[in-house]
């Protein structure tokens, strides 16, 4: 055999060996490893090349015995030792290490470390030692008895460690026939066994029981030939084993009780998939009593029997358990449920596969939760429409499709911010829901509708030309008009529409065109929409009885007389009259349960109430007709001493119109019934104005007011 062929065979042996092999140099540094080394320890060559292999696999743990082994190999000796090494993930691995030095020209140049995984053997040995220790304790207490008989059943010899524990006297038994010294039934059993052994049917096993010291003891006997004319009976006291067997039976009963009480379903099935055992929880999982499940086949339980078969068959073929796969099952009442199952094999004492066992737990709630999460990830939680994420995915998908002609409609809800700021987000949310319902009602089932922003909606119309898209947009506008006739708060949508007959226009460019046209539409009728919404807000405020005609006229009269008395200009008097009517406009956004509460407001409720000047300010700014008094609405609850809100200004920093309104409004409020107070007399109101002059009210204006009234 040539040198090259020898090298090739060695390399093949190195690479394909079932044992982990590392090649190291004279310094015990890694040069090469085989595939089994990678599988056993988890290291790739690049990770440990050039490193001391023992130090790598000791995970930083000092081990003098390992170093001794290394030094022996380096010295040129072949060594073999058991050691603990550690995988890359830190798990200990028991190995048999063989060190083979490489000597070239009498000089040590490196060597091979051959690692045989003996972890399983060590575990077996440990279990065996534990078992032997128990057995040894038993054997020390009850030693086996060896008896030798001839063909005729005469006792010839015995061997026992503790004669006191025998159930007969040896000296009376020697050279006697078994029937002379043993119980007839036991003697007959031994003779029958001897006849069978001497006729070639061996060994023969039988058990018997005798009473010793008032206690029944059990023995197991094995009869074997020990010569042509002799037979050996090995008697073992199996009383303790019987007790263990009894304990095992009781343990099995407890095991069954545990299975009956746990919440996870436990099942056993034969190889045909028929249920042969299950606990109560398994029955509850699919709505059956356990006894009803016995004999049922997997085909009757799973929504997809083929998938279930494939999974069980894979476990059968590989022998590897499946720790958790999800299957949809059918409950007794026909409703679906989801179970997470594990599968492992059942084997008999000879290792033959006889069936499957495992546990199952109900994960229906988890599956529904995951489905809900998936739904929420693609849908808007408020309107139930698709969200921007889904919409953009559809744009990307359609950009490479053949869905042309393609149209896109964009829609923007008018004055949503005004409604949110003044009437609260509940009203704004309802407007969004109404807008979504109108759009959905106006579209076809094949159209893709999404809420892509706070007040923005977009629609993709696949295979839709410009004429059809215009008719759909017209239908949207018609449905909006119908809604306006019935709704107390007008709803407006600004629309933009763009169509492409071919893929020459990128779909995102098409979307931008529709968006630009929508904003143009919004600019065209934004003022008109704003005035409609303002009118609706004023109507809502009137319905709340805060600017009733009588109250507005009375307040306007009181303010006008004071204004005239101090010589305000005509423009100031006009603003004052308008302020008297709309100063509480912001209260349209305050919940009724706070506005009309008879008891004292809580801290949080009072905080909400104090927001109405700012709400009114924003409403007024949005309307040309009211923008001139917006600042007065903002400051009409400021106080002379600076304790008012929302700005906390004081004295003449407060506009004179607001100071006049504060006195007139307070007087009118005190002399009329309110939800939270009864009307006071004129004199009581006058006294209160005097008391608050210089703190809440401008003292000079109070004097002017009192001079008039």
> The domain that contains 644 carries what CATH number?
1.10.3210.10
42 inside domain: yes
Of 375, 388, 506, the C-alpha closest to 450 is 388
Does the pLDDT value for residue 330 go beyond 80? yes
What six digits make up the tokens of 416? 């949503």
What is the DSSP annotation of 160-227?
-S-GGG-SS-HHHHTTSBHHHHS-HHHHHHHHHHHHHHHTT---EEEEEEEEETTEEEEEEEEEEESS
Counting the structural domains of the chain, the total is 5
Query: What pLDDT shows up at residue 433?
Result: 93
684 inside domain: yes
Highest mean pLDDT among 52-66, 350-364, 608-622: 350-364
170 inside domain: yes
| Over residues 583-588, mean pLDDT | 82
Tell me the per-residue pLDDT of 375-397, one tens digit each, with 9 for 90 and over.
Answer: 888 899 899 999 999 999 998 88
Contacts with 645 (C-beta within 8 Å, 6 or more apart), sequence order:
610, 613, 637, 638
> The domain that contains 281 carries what CATH number?
3.30.450.20
Of 315, 302, 324, the C-alpha closest to 355 is 315
486 inside domain: no
Same domain? For 355 and 389 the reply is no
Does the pLDDT value for residue 143 go beyond 80? no
Q: Find tokens 């409950």 and name the residue.
A: 331
Q: 135 falls in which pLDDT band (50, 70, 90)?
A: very low
166 inside domain: yes
* Final residue in a domain of this structure, among 190, 211, 243: 243
In 388-455, DSSP assigns E strands to: 406-413, 448-451
Query: What pLDDT shows up at residue 566?
Result: 93
Same domain? For 410 and 336 the reply is no
Q: CB under 8 Å, gap of 24 or more: what pairs does 44-51 form?
A: 47/88
Same domain? For 385 and 363 the reply is no
227 inside domain: yes
What is the DSSP annotation of 87-132?
-TTS-EEEEEEEEEEEEETTEEEEEEEEEEE-HHHHHHHHHHHHHH
Give the CA angle between residues 155, 157, 158 to the nearest 5°.
110
pTM: 0.43
Mean pLDDT of the chain: 82
* Distance between CA atoms of residues 306 and 319, nearest Å: 20
14 inside domain: yes
Query: DSSP H helical segments within 212-321, as ranges?
Result: 239-261, 280-286, 290-293, 305-318
Same domain? For 596 and 667 the reply is yes
> The domain that contains 393 carries what CATH number?
3.30.70.270
Classified as helix, coil or strand, 348 is coil
Same domain? For 354 and 228 the reply is no
Same domain? For 306 and 431 the reply is no
* Distance between CA atoms of residues 149 and 230, nearest Å: 6
* Distance between CA atoms of residues 579 and 600, nearest Å: 27
Tell me the per-residue pLDDT of 178-236, one tens digit each, with 9 for 90 and over.
Answer: 888 777 877 888 888 888 888 887 777 778 777 766 778 787 878 888 778 888 877 77
Region of poorest pLDDT, from 71-75, 121-125, 265-269, 592-596: 71-75
Same domain? For 345 and 301 the reply is yes
Task: Let me know if 242 is exposed, middle or buried by CB neighbors in 10 A (0-12, 13-18, 19+).
Answer: middle
Please say whether the beta carbons of 339 and 361 come within 8 A. yes
Q: 488 falls in which pLDDT band (50, 70, 90)?
A: low
What six digits make up the tokens of 701? 């204006």
Q: 530 falls in which pLDDT band (50, 70, 90)?
A: low
Please say whether the beta carbons of 613 and 577 come within 8 A. no
* Final residue in a domain of this structure, among 123, 151, 169: 123
Same domain? For 72 and 215 the reply is no
Please say whether the beta carbons of 408 and 461 come within 8 A. yes
* Distance between CA atoms of residues 562 and 115, nearest Å: 107
Of 568, 559, 593, the C-alpha closest to 676 is 593
Classified as helix, coil or strand, 498 is strand
The one-character DSSP state at 393 is H
Dihedral, CA of residue 13, residue 17, residue 19 and residue 25, to nearest 10: 40
Please say whether the beta carbons of 332 and 288 come within 8 A. yes
Query: What pLDDT shows up at residue 492?
Result: 82
Provide the domain limits for residue 220.
142-243
Does the pLDDT value for residue 250 go beyond 80? no
| Over residues 160-168, mean pLDDT | 57
- Count other C-beta atoms under 10 Å from residue 540's C-beta: 19
Q: Find tokens 């040539």 and name the residue.
A: 2
Tell me the per-residue pLDDT of 79-94, one tens digit each, with 9 for 90 and over.
Answer: 788 888 888 888 888 9
Region of poorest pLDDT, from 50-64, 73-87, 145-159, 283-297: 50-64
Sign of the Cα pseudo-torsion (532, 540, 419, 477, in order): negative
Q: 352 falls in which pLDDT band (50, 70, 90)?
A: very high
Tell me the per-residue pLDDT of 390-437, one tens digit each, with 9 for 90 and over.
Answer: 999 998 888 887 788 999 999 998 878 777 776 778 888 988 999 999
Tell me the per-residue pLDDT of 448-467, one tens digit each, with 9 for 90 and over.
Answer: 999 999 899 999 999 999 99
Same domain? For 106 and 223 the reply is no
What is the spatial order of strands in the sheet that 30-33 belongs to? 30-33, 20-25, 107-117, 92-104, 79-86
Classified as helix, coil or strand, 566 is coil
| Over residues 95-109, mean pLDDT | 86
Q: What are phi and psi of 664, to 5 degrees?
A: -65, -45
- Count other C-beta atoms under 10 Å from residue 632's C-beta: 24
Tell me the per-residue pLDDT of 265-277, one tens digit each, with 9 for 90 and over.
Answer: 888 999 999 999 8
Query: What pLDDT shows up at residue 67?
Result: 54
Query: What pLDDT shows up at residue 486?
Result: 79
Dihedral, CA of residue 410, residue 416, residue 418 and residue 423, to nearest 10: 170
* Distance between CA atoms of residues 235 and 493, nearest Å: 100
What six digits make up the tokens of 16? 């394909």
Same domain? For 632 and 693 the reply is yes
Query: What pLDDT shows up at residue 523?
Result: 65
* Distance between CA atoms of residues 141 and 120, nearest Å: 31
Same domain? For 363 and 388 the reply is no
Same domain? For 563 and 670 the reply is yes
Does the pLDDT value for residue 340 go beyond 50? yes
- % of the chain beyond a pLDDT of 70: 86
528 inside domain: no
What six digits make up the tokens of 27? 């310094």
Does the pLDDT value for residue 62 go beyond 50? no
Query: How far does Cα 427 stand from its chain's mean position?
Result: 34
| Over residues 237-248, mean pLDDT | 78
* Final residue in a domain of this structure, among 88, 123, 158: 123
């Amino acid at each position: 055999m040539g040198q090259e062929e020898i090298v090739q065979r060695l390399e093949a042996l190195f690479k394909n060996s079932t044992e982990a092999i590392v090649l190291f140099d004279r310094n015990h540094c890694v040069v090469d490893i085989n595939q089994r080394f990678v599988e056993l320890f988890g290291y790739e060559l690049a990770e440990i090349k050039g490193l001391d292999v023992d130090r790598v696999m000791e995970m930083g743990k000092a081990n003098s015995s390992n170093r001794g082994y290394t030094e022996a190999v380096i010295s040129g000796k072949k060594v073999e030792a058991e050691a603990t090494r550690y995988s890359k993930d830190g798990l200990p691995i028991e190995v048999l290490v063989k060190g083979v030095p490489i000597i070239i020209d009498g000089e040590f140049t490196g060597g091979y470390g051959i690692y045989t995984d003996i972890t399983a053997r060590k575990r077996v040995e440990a279990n065996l030692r534990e078992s032997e220790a128990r057995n040894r304790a038993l054997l020390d207490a009850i030693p086996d008895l060896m008896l030798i008989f001839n063909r005729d059943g005469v006792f010839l010899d015995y061997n026992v460690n503790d004669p006191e524990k025998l159930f007969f006297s040896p000296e009376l038994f020697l050279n006697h026939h078994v029937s002379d010294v043993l119980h007839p039934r036991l003697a007959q059993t031994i003779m029958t066994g001897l006849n069978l052994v001497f006729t070639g049917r061996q060994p023969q096993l039988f058990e018997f029981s005798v009473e010793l010291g008032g206690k029944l003891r059990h023995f197991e006997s094995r009869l074997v030939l020990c010569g042509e004319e002799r037979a050996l009976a090995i008697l073992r006291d199996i009383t303790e084993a019987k007790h263990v067997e009894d304990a095992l039976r009781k343990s099995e009963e407890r095991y069954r009780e545990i299975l009956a009480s746990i919440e996870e379903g436990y099942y056993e099935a034969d190889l045909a998939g028929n249920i042969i055992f299950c606990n109560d929880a398994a029955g509850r999982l699919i709505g059956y009593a356990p006894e009803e499940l016995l004999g049922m086949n997997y085909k009757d339980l799973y929504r997809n029997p083929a998938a279930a078969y494939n999974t069980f068959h894979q476990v059968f073929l590989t022998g590897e358990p499946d720790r958790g796969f999800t299957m949809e099952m059918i409950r007794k009442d026909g409703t679906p449920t989801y179970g997470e199952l594990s599968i492992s094999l059942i084997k008999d004492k000879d290792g033959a596969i006889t069936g499957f066992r495992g546990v199952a737990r109900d994960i229906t709630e988890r599956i529904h939760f995951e489905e809900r999460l998936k739904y929420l990830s693609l849908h808007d939680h408020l309107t139930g429409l698709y969200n921007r994420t889904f919409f953009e995915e559809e744009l990307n998908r359609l950009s490479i499709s053949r869905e042309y002609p393609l149209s896109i409609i964009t829609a923007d809800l008018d004055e949503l911010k005004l409604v949110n700021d003044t009437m609260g987000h509940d009203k704004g949310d309802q407007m969004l829901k109404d807008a979504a319902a109108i759009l959905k009602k106006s579209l076809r089932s094949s159209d893709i509708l999404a809420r892509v922003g706070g007040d923005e909606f977009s629609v993709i119309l696949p295979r839709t030309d410009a004429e059809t898209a215009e008719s759909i947009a017209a239908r949207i506008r018609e449905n909006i008009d119908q809604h306006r006739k019935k709704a107390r708060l007008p709803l407006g949508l600004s629309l933009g529409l763009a169509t492409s007959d071919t893929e020459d226009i990128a779909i995102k460019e098409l979307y931008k065109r529709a968006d630009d046209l929508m904003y143009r539409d919004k600019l065209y009728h934004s003022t008109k929409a704003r005035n409609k919404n303002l009118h609706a807000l004023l109507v809502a405020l009137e319905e709340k009885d805060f600017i009733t005609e009588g109250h507005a006229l009375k307040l306007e009269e009181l303010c006008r007389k004071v204004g005239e008395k101090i010589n305000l200009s005509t423009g100031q008097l006009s603003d004052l009259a308008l302020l008297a009517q709309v100063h509480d406009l912001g209260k349209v956004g305050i919940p009724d349960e706070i506005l009309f509460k008879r008891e004292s407001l809580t801290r949080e409720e009072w905080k909400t109430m104090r927001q109405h000047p700012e709400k009114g300010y924003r409403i007024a700014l949005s309307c040309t007709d009211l923008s001139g008094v917006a600042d007065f609405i903002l400051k009409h609850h400021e106080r002379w001493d600076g304790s008012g809100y929302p700005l906390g200004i004081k004295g003449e920093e407060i506009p004179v119109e607001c100071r006049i309104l504060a006195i007139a409004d307070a007087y009118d409020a005190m002399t009329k019934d309110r939800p939270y107070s009864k009307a006071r007399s004129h004199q009581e109101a006058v006294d209160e104005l005097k008391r608050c002059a210089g703190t809440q009210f401008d003292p000079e204006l109070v004097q002017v007011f009192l001079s008039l009234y």
